[in-house]
Amino acid sequence: MEKYDVAIIGSGPGGYVGAIRCAQLGMKTALIEKYDSLGGTCLNVGCIPSKALLDSSEHYHQAEKDFKEHGIELKDLKVNFKQMVERKRGVVEQTVGGIDFLMKKNKIDVYHGMGSFEDKNTIKISGKKEEKIEAKNIVIATGSKPASLPFIEIDKERIITSTEALELDNVPKKMIVIGGGVIGLELGSVYARLGTQVDVIEYMDRIIPTMDSTMGKELQKSLKKLGMNFHLSHKVKEVKRNKNKVTVKADDKKGKEVSFDADYCLVSVGRRPYTDNLGLDKAGVKVDDKGRVEVNEKLQTNVSHIYAIGDVVRGAMLAHKAEEEGTFVAEVINGEHPHVDYNLIPGVVYTWPEVASVGKTEEELKEAKVNYKVGSFPFKASGRARASMDTDGLIKVLADKETDEILGVHMCGPRAADMIAEAVVAMEYRATAEDISRMSHAHPTFTEAFREATLDATGKRAIHI
């Protein structure tokens, strides 16, 4: 039986990054993946394909809505959805191929097949053939799968999850989206841009409810302009398919029954940790009441040489969080003392405008009774945003009232996904709002809006509002 220093189960951004870091540190490393392609949810059916469709659909939308005003006239503009999906497949293929290359480069042994514990140190791999390997340390990086509601039967044809929504044959006329979170809004906006009538049904009284509430309000205004309909404070109680039609029944906030019809229903109510058929009981590894593998601050399970990372453990289900933990765990195994600051892991919604956040929300600061101040700046006051016709949204900075330290930054606007990095750096170095306000930001850029929001936070010094 082949023996390893580390075996990692799951090749998503947690697993493959962890494997590379282990190999860099000189450990003999195995990576086990049940599918033929590496990269996990993120590369195959998550981050990368969704962004490919978001980019393509946004190009179409701009051509349709904004080009004329820019002075560009097009004849016979139409969507070739098959080509759009084909391009997306190409992007995924290339990206996944890159991971194969990185595994070879780092001399990591890759096993394709379902990994399961035989005991605390032995893993059985059931693929084309059955193999067993032994490892001193094991990392569970098995990720997550779409969650559903108890009364919904996902048939993957008309009642679908994000995985199928990335592979439809044509642009639906009508789509119901259950859940106004990240997936619902990203994929909902892809189809709304392409002409689908999209109805979002959300249980809470706002969309993206875990983010700062100003962001949900701003984004909803923009997505309404795109034609998306929102039904907030609605409790879905029935989802039925009849041939090519799906009917969803829900109770509105007054308890009155409402009904929606569409060609497709996308169920995007969250994801669940995935440990099916992993044989955790054979290794004696515990899970919590939500099915997540329990870990301590070193990401060790209750069995000290078995670790777990990414979507299968507590915390945000984000690729870059999983990557951080992959690196972290490799360094822990190597006897180092790494650190992940979970407060500084940014969250992004890749709609247009984009939403990006880091640190505390205003609601969290209120609840923690922190004495804070707010500075904000709307994109409609930005010259750069006017030039590119991206004037929706704003940047909001939350800073400690006494010390001026930045505690949270929330952006809804053009290129917010990229701009949030400046806020992460600022907060990592514990910058004050005044620190940022005194740094030169190139003109004209969207980043000036961040500086203006910090100026606003420090004694209302903003220049352009």
Give the residue numbers annotated as catalytic, written as ranges: 443
DSSP-H helix ranges across 240-347? 280-283, 319-333
Nearest to 214 by CA among 413, 28, 9, 45: 413
Residue with tokens 């996944």: 96
Beta bridge partners of 348: 356
Residue 46 sits in the site that holds ligand FAD (CB under 6 A): yes
Query: Does 29 help bind ligand FAD (rule: CB under 6 A)?
Result: no
Is residue 269 within the footprint of ligand NAD (CB under 6 A)?
yes
User: Which is nearer to ligand NAD, 42 or 449 (by Cβ)?
Assistant: 42
- Residue located via tokens 């450990």: 27
Could you say which of ligand NAD, ligand FAD, none residue 202 binds, taking C-beta under 5 to 8 angstroms by partner kind?
Answer: ligand NAD
Which listed range, 52-60, 110-118, 403-411, 455-463, lies at the site for ligand FAD (CB under 6 A)?
A: 110-118
Question: With the CA atoms of 29, 320, 147 and 40 taken in that order, what torsion angle do they form, in degrees rounded to the nearest 10?
Answer: -40
> Given the rule CB under 6 A, which of 52-60, 138-146, 401-409, 429-437 is the region that contacts ligand FAD?
138-146
Q: List the one residue from 152, 204, 344, 374 that touches ligand NAD (CB under 6 A).
A: 204
152 lines the binding site for ligand NAD (CB under 6 A): no
* Contacting residue, 195, 270, 291, 444, with ligand NAD by CB under 6 A: 270
320 near ligand FAD, judged by CB under 6 A: yes
Binding mask 172-191 for ligand NAD (x = CB under 6 A): ------xxxxxxx-x-----
DSSP letter string, 297-361: TTSB-SSTTEEE-GGGSSS---HHHHHHHHHHHHHHHTT------GGG--EEE-SSSEEEEEE--
Give the pair of three-digit tokens for residue 273.
């940790």
Q: Which C-beta is closer to ligand NAD: that of 34 or that of 145?
A: 145
Nearest-approach distance from CB 135 to ligand NAD, in angstroms: 29
* Strand, coil or helix: 44: helix
DSSP 8-state symbol, 405: B
Contacts of 305 (CB under 8 A, 6+ apart): 120, 121, 136, 137, 138
| Structure-block tokens of residue 437 | 């306000």
Token pair 């041939």 is found at 243
Judged by the rule CB under 6 A, the positions of this chain that interact with ligand NAD are: 149, 178-184, 186, 201-204, 209, 236, 268-271, 316-318, 348-350
Judged by the rule CB under 6 A, the positions of this chain that interact with ligand FAD are: 9-15, 32-35, 40-42, 46-47, 50, 114-116, 141-144, 162, 183, 274, 278, 310-311, 317-320, 322, 350
